[in-house]
Structure 1
Amino acid sequence: MSDDLKHTPLFDLHAELGAKMVPFAGYAMPVQYPLGVMKEHLHTRARAGLFDVSHMGQVILRGADVAAAFETMVPVDVAGLAEGRQRYGFFTNDKGGIEDDLMFANRGDHLFVVVNAACKEADVALMRAALEPGVTVEVIEDRALLALQGPEAEDVLAGLNPAAREMRFMDVATLELVGADCWVSRSGYTGEDGYEISVPTDAVEALARALLAHEAVEPIGLGARDSLRLEAGLCLYGHDLTPDVTPVAGALTWAIQKIRRAGGDRAGGFPGADVILAQLSGGAAMRRVNLRPEGRAPMREGVQIFADETSDTPIGYVTSGAFGPTVEGPIAMGYVSWDLAEPDQRLYGEVRGKRLPVTVLAAPAFKSRYKK
């Protein structure tokens, strides 16, 4: 790998654990460990998996009107988010497209924002241009980020601090773990119950080792992270979401609260509002859907989708595709014409010159198990 790649604070631990490292978003990241992608995926579904996500961007926003200011960048309800709670959101552009998706938390006197690794420099520049000088944009450089996911995650983390049991999905709290103040949210990117933990860099290895010492926990790489999120119907920015995709086309209208929609008390006021608000009532040309290819052949990113076996014009395309170990078959996500995005719609993906049947799912292949 290139010497230009950045390392997370756990790089040496990954090497010690036998990880295969690959370039990802400018970092050397573990794609898998000796257990292998398939078993890592199934272990996370059955017990608990530990992910290093320190490549993500962590940002603190402070200011007297920080919630109102942040609402000028995102089409979601920031001002109404209770202290100690977290919400999903996205930056939009003037055409209504998604510049990045993100998580933000109300920490009382500030907002804590986590953005995608590949977009973090652009996101920080975007926030500084839109929010300063009224809001300070502080990039956190001295903290790492871990994710503990799976049905036994609660028992594992509660072994280090019993207060972890009291948290519910999208709660945030400061918990002392291995002697360090950690910013913990009950959330994740796998469809499983679990936690995301912002930890001081000088304590992250001690915390990772403490979690891995539990017999329920295995280290999990990017390979299983991708198949886990795809089974759960969770988007990967740069693939399933792009600056050309609106939240309506991206099937993310659930994340736009009523108060930010037409007729709401704080409707509009964000980039691309005219496009997005119009699409909320009238629809878009395409829509993101979860797909289940028939048979065993996976449909990877870029596969064209057709309405039938003989038509010449594609009506959609695959943006993510893989084998789903939990569902024991291929899974995919992509975009199809709005009128063909209904559940149980039978379509065809062209794989190596053959039209293979694929069905639009009413819900993701795996039903998420969050603790609400």
Structure 2
Amino acid sequence: MSSDTLLTTPLNALHLELGARMVPFAGYSMPVQYKPGLMAEHLHTRQAAGLFDVSHMGQLRLVGPDAAAAFETLMPVDVIGLGEHKQRYGLLLNDEGGIIDDLMFVNRGRDIFVIVNGACKHGDLAHMLARIGGRCQIDVLFDRGLLALQGPQAVTALARLLPGVEKLVFMTGGDFSWNGADLYVTRSGYTGEDGFEISVPAAQAEALARALLAQPEVNPVGLGARNSLRLEAGLCLYGNDIDTVTTPVEAGLNWAMQKVRRTGGERAGGFAGAARVLAQLDGAEALTRKRVGLVALERVPVREHTELQNSDGATIGEVTSGLLGPSVDKPVAMGYVGAEYAAVGTRVSAIVRGKVVPMEVAAMPFLPPNYFRG
């Protein structure tokens, strides 16, 4: 895609002013890093607060008395039982149990507010319209801005602009107003740190971003550090670590499927791909592969698509994400291996440019999360 066909977010001029290196991502021109670079931006987010432009992501609202029940038919997730202004992670599945997209949603009382991945948003919308468009109203909010403020000092900075935001806890949200703009703020994110995601009208997005960057704790952070932060936190990147041929059980996302939707629950099944997903959950279908965390035992970064072998040199899997973790100061990765190699502590070999790099299956996340649970 050429640069003149890329879409831009409401913060594009600000990114250029700040000296960002822009790259194509999900059809948009997006900042991969600013002048300090990926390492500095990553560490600043872990220590203070980083501001990310994630306006390329898709925002939707589902409206109507049947919206929650309808949305539940698309995901192995409890939508009906979610309390007002509570947020949950969701998995949009196809009929084979593969993951069409992972998403976040909030019961706002007046609607179900959904945030989907940028590269998937048009496909997600078409899927929702085809499957549940007759049961609820689906409003497209793709023109809204979305900012993520992440890090241990994010609450200090944001509370100066939005008094009361400090009362939110992890995976809850609320309505706020700033300079006449109606915002919706959730205490969540994609870094493993405390933080917030702020939905803002496009016309006010740049002014809000500038106000946040004026706070002494806050620096701009690009997609490069967003990727390294989420990998250290053990969080999947759609298209790398999960996709349409990967089930939630293979991906180790069982925690995202509440008991009420699983075998024996009062609303068990009834979602796309349920037959296969439930069979994997109860052991009727044996898993042939599992997503695992991996740590290299030599200081060699192991990137996505790297082959994994057992001690006999047989291929047993592939790395799906990998880099040198700036906070943990060692090469970390995630990938898929045969189920018999998925136990923590198992030794495997990565083949990096023809060289064998020893790796060990490790628990995720690679560092403890700092979510604020109250």
The TM-score range, normalised by the shorter chain, is over 0.9
Q: Which residue of 1 aligns with 2:336?
A: 335
- The structure 1 segments of at least 4 consecutive aligned residues displaced by more than 2 Å after TM superposition are none
Match of 1:92 in 2: 93
Counterpart of 1:219 in structure 2 is 220
Task: Give per-residue Cα distances to partners, 1:151-172, cap 9 Å, x unaligned.
Answer: 0001001111221110000011
Q: C-alpha separation between the residues in 1 aligned to 2:178 and 2:234? A: 31
TM-fit CA distance, 1:370: 0.2
* Distance in 1 of aligned mates of 2:27 and 2:310: 38
Paired residues for 1:304-343 under 5 Å:
304-308=307-311, 310-311=312-313, 313-343=314-344
| Residues 263, 282 of structure 2: 8 Å contact kept | no
2:22 paired residue number: 21
Identify the residue that residue 364 of structure 1 maps to in structure 2. 365
Secondary structure of 2:51's counterpart equals strand
Task: Report sequence identity in percent.
Answer: 56
Q: Secondary structure at the match of 2:39?
A: helix
2: CA distance, partners of 1:293 / 1:47: 28
SS of corresponding position for 1:203? helix
1:356 positional shift: 1.2
**CA–CA separation in structure 1 for the residues paired with 2:142 and 2:370:** 32
State the distance in 1 between where 2:104 and 2:33 align: 26
SS in 2 for 1:88: strand
* Counterpart position of 1:32: 33
1:51-107 deviations in Å (ceiling 9; x for gaps): 000000000001111111101100100001000100001111111110100001000
User: Which residue pairs with 1:287 in the alignment?
Assistant: 290
Whole-angstrom CA distance in 1 between matches of 2:132 and 2:95: 17
Deviations 1:263-286 (A, max 9, x none): 111011111101000100214111
- Contact 2:148 2:197 (C-alpha < 8 Å) held by counterparts: yes
User: Aligned pair count?
Assistant: 370
Structure 1 CA distance for aligned equivalents of residues 25 and 152 of structure 2: 27
What amino acid does structure 1 have at the position aligned with 2:155?
E
Q: 1: CA distance between counterparts of 2:227 and 2:7?
A: 21
Equivalence for 1:249: 250
Q: What do the CA deviations read for 1:180-217 (whole angstroms, capped 9, x no partner)?
A: 22100000000000000000111111110000001110
Q: Is the 8 A contact 1:303 1:350 kept in 2?
A: yes
1:132 aligns to what?
133
Name the residue aligned to 1:149.
150
SS of alignment partner, residue 134 of structure 1: coil
1:303 correspondence with 2:306: yes
User: What's the CA shift string for 1:246-304, capped at 9, x where partnerless?
Assistant: 00000000000010011111011111101000100214111101111112111111111
Q: CA deviation at 1:316?
A: 0.9
Matching residue of 1:351: 352
Who is 2:165 aligned against? 164
Q: Aligned equivalents of 1:115 and 1:321: distance in 2?
A: 23
Query: C-alpha distance in 1, partners of 2:317/2:292?
Result: 10
Tell me if the contact between 1:342 and 1:362 (Cα under 8 Å) persists in the aligned partners: no
Q: State the shift of 1:175 in Å.
A: 1.2
CA–CA distance in structure 2, aligned partners of residues 138 and 181 of structure 1: 17
Residue identity opposite 2:46 in structure 1: R
Bigger drift between 268-277 and 356-365 goes to: 356-365
SS of residue matched to 2:4: coil
Which moves more between the two structures, 26-35 or 362-371?
362-371
Give the conservation status (yes or no) of the 8 Å contact 1:316–1:335: yes
- For structure 2, the 5+ residue unaligned runs are none
The answer for the alignment partner of 1:229 in structure 2 is 230
Please state how far the C-alpha of 1:179 moved relative to its aligned partner. Answer: 3.3
- The answer for unaligned runs of 5 or more in structure 1 is none
Deviation of residue 26 (structure 1)? 0.3
Report the counterpart of residue 58 of structure 1 in structure 2.
59
- Counterpart check, 1:204 vs 2:205: yes
**Contact 1:178–1:206 (CA under 8 A) maintained in structure 2:** no
1:306 Cα shift? Answer: 1.2
Deviation of 1:347 after TM superposition, in Å, equals: 1.1
Tell me if the contact between 1:247 and 1:253 (Cα under 8 Å) persists in the aligned partners: yes
1:369 counterpart letter in structure 2 = N
- 1:180 equivalent in structure 2: 181
Offset at residue 362 of structure 1 (A): 1.9
Amino acid aligned to 2:336: Y
C-alpha distance in structure 2 between counterparts of 1:41 and 1:120, whole Å: 27
Mean Cα displacement is larger for which, 342-351 or 44-53?
A: 342-351
Shift of 1:363: 2.4
Distance 2:343 2:220 in 1: 38
Cα distance, 1:343 vs structure 2: 1.0
- Residue 160 of structure 1 contacts residue 178 of structure 1 at CA under 8 Å; is this kept in 2? no
